[in-house]
Structure 1
Amino acid sequence: MAGGHGGFEPVKLDPAIERWSQMRENVYQHFKFTRRATRQVITLGFLVPAFIAGIAVSFDNKYDWAGKQKGSSLLRGTPAKPSPASEE
């Protein structure tokens, strides 16, 4: 296949890419919480999901799609559109 056999290397290895790959494989061994890393964890791990959850909760019971007629409001708690037969 693509492996080197008998001293033959079909793929050239780039030392910079190999160093980067080695660094990425071992990042957990050298990670330290700095101000920047802590800020990113708090922002992306807590604030963004809390913001999205707040939006979801605020819109959770605002709309009602079940059984709505054409032209009637989708807002929950609004009266249904009167039928044309009752308007005489």
Structure 2
Amino acid sequence: MAGLKHYRMAFDPAIQRLGTMQSNRHKFFRWTPRTARITFMYAVVVPAIFTVIAYNTDGKYDLRAKRKGDLVYEY
């Protein structure tokens, strides 16, 4: 066991390039119509959908202290 270098591995060049690309992605980013559309969807549309759902269901459900046979929704 002494003297053997088990910790050394051959590096895969493709994995090395992928790691380099991932860590330097911010340097090469460009705004294109596709990236702008995706950013808009995640920054505006998705939170808007969750907000509408939250406001529509606000106060409708009471999940505390329910017994068997009691209704969960209020209206």
For the criterion TM > 0.5, the same-fold answer is: yes
- Corresponding residue for 2:20? 22
> For residues 28-73 of structure 1, what are the alpha-carbon distances to aligned partners after superposition, in whole Å with 9 as ceiling and x for unaligned?
1111111111111111222112112211221111123445554343
Percent identical across equivalent pairs?
A: 33
- Corresponding residue number in structure 1 for 2:36: 38
Q: 1:47 to 1:10 in 2, by over 3 A?
A: same
Deviation at 1:15, TM superposition (A): 1.1
What are structure 1's unaligned runs of at least 5 residues?
78-88
The alignment's TM-score, normalised by the length of structure 1, stands at: 0.63
Secondary structure of the 1:42 match is: helix
Distance 2:65 2:11 in 1: 64
**Structure 1 counterpart of 2:56:** 58
